[in-house]
A and B are shown apart, each in its own frame.
Chain A
Amino acid sequence: MGILEVKGVGKRFGGLQALSDVNLSVAENSVHAIIGPNGAGKSTLLNCFVGKLIPDTGSVMFNGQSVLGRKPHEINQMGISRVFQTPEIFGDLTVMENVMISCFAHRDGAFRIHPFETVAHEADIIEQAETMLSDVNMLDKREMHAASMSRGDKRRLEMAMCLAQEPKLLLLDEPTAGMARADTNNTIALLKEIKEKRDITMAIIEHDMHVVFSLAERITVLAQGTPLVEDTPENIKGHPKVKEAYLGESV
Chain B
Amino acid sequence: MSKTNITRRGLMKTGAATGAGLALPTIFTSGAAAFTNEPTGSSVKLGFNVPQTGPYAEEGLDELRAYELAVEHLNGMGDGGAMNTFSSKVLEGNGILGKKVEYVTGDTQTKSDAARASAKSMIEKDGVTMITGGSSSGVAIAVQGLAQDAGIIFMAALTHSNDTTGKDRKANGFRYFFNAYMSGAALAPVLKNAYGSDRRAYHLTADYTWGWTQQESIAAATEAIGWETVNNVLTPVGAGDFSSYIAPVLNSGADVLVLNHYGGDMVNSLTQAIQFGLKDKVVNGKQFEIVVPLYSELMAAGAGENIKGVYGSMNWNWQLQDPGTQAFVKSFGEKYGRPPSGSAHTAYVQTLLYADAVTRAGSFNPCAVVEALEGFEFDGLGIGPTLYRAEDHQAFKDVLVMKGAENPTTEYDTLEIVEVTPVEQVMYPPDHPMFGGPEASLGECNDGA
* A–B: direct contact at CB < 8 Å: no
Report B's interface with A, CB cutoff 8 A: none
